[in-house]
C-alpha cells in the first residue's frame, strides 16, 4: 500500500468525525494531555517543548483553554490515517485486533465501529524519557485504562478487551505482552 501523506491529510474533515457520533466523555484532562503528546500537531510548540523539558504545566493550561479542539484534532488526524486501513480491510471479517503502541485507543474506536473485533491493547505507559527519544530506547506515554474507558464509552464491552502494559525495560520483545 502506498501512503500519500498530503492526500491523507485531506481525506476527511471535522464534520466527518461529528457524523460518527462518538463519545469523548471519558477523556479527562490527563488523558487529553497524553493525546497531545501522542499527536503533537494538536498542541502548541511551547507546550510540547516545555513538556520535553519536564514541565507539564503549559500543556495543562492549554488543555483548560482548548481541550475539545485538541481532542477533535487528534480524532480527525487519526481518522484520516485510519481510512486507508479501513479500505484495505473492507470485506474482511476482523475478529481480533492487537494494537501495539495503541496510545489512547482512538484507532481502535474506529476499528470497533466498523468491525467489532476483540482487542488486545499494548503500550508502554511511562518511561523516564519524554517524547520521541525512541530510536535507542523507546519512550512510553499512554494510559491503557483511558484507552479502555474510551472504547467502553463508545460501545465496546469490557469482555472484548484485554490490556497489556509493557514496562520501560522494553528491550524484551513486545511479543511477550500478547494475550491473543
DSSP code for 101: T
What residues pair up with 97 in beta bridges, in sequence order? 119
Task: Tell which phi-psi region holds residue 116, choosing left (phi > 0), alpha (psi between -120 and 50) or beta.
Answer: left
Nearer to ligand SAM, 48 or 91 (CB): 48
Question: Residue 40 CB, nearest distance to ligand SAM (Å)?
Answer: 8
Does position 103 interact with ligand SAM (CB under 6 A)? The reply is yes
- Considering only 29, 134, 169, 172, the residue that binds ligand SAM (CB under 6 A) is 134
How many chain residues are in contact with ligand SAM, going by CB under 6 A?
21
Binding mask 159-178 for ligand SAM (x = CB under 6 A): -------x---x---x----
Q: Comparing C-alpha atoms, which of 116, 70, 123 is closest to residue 97?
A: 116
Cβ atoms 26, 150 nearer than 8 A: yes
101 binds ligand SAM (CB under 6 A): yes
Within 20-59, which residues bind ligand SAM (CB under 6 A)?
A: 38-39
Are 141 and 131 a contacting pair, CB within 8 Å? yes
Length, in residues, of the chain: 180
Residues lying near ligand SAM in the complex (CB under 6 A) are found at 38-39, 78, 100-103, 106-107, 122-124, 134, 138-142, 166, 170, 174
Amino acid at each position: 500500500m502506498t501512503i500519500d501523506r498530503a492526500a491523507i491529510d485531506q481525506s476527511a474533515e471535522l464534520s466527518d468525525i461529528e457524523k460518527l457520533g462518538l463519545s469523548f466523555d471519558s477523556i479527562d484532562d490527563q488523558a487529553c494531555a497524553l493525546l497531545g503528546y501522542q499527536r503533537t500537531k494538536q498542541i502548541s510548540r511551547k507546550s510540547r517543548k516545555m513538556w520535553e523539558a519536564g514541565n507539564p504545566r503549559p500543556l495543562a493550561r492549554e488543555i483548560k483553554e482548548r481541550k475539545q479542539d485538541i481532542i477533535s484534532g487528534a480524532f480527525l488526524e487519526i481518522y484520516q490515517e485510519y481510512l486507508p486501513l479501513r479500505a484495505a480491510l473492507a470485506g474482511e471479517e476482523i475478529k481480533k485486533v492487537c494494537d501495539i503502541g495503541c496510545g489512547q485507543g482512538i484507532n481502535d474506536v474506529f476499528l470497533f465501529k466498523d468491525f467489532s473485533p476483540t482487542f488486545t491493547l499494548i503500550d508502554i505507559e511511562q518511561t523516564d524519557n519524554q517524547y520521541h527519544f525512541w530510536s535507542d530506547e523507546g519512550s512510553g506515554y499512554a494510559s491503557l485504562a483511558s484507552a479502555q474507558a474510551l472504547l467502553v464509552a463508545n460501545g465496546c464491552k469490557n469482555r472484548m478487551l484485554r490490556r497489556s502494559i509493557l514496562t520501560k525495560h522494553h528491550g524484551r520483545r513486545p511479543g511477550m505482552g500478547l494475550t491473543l
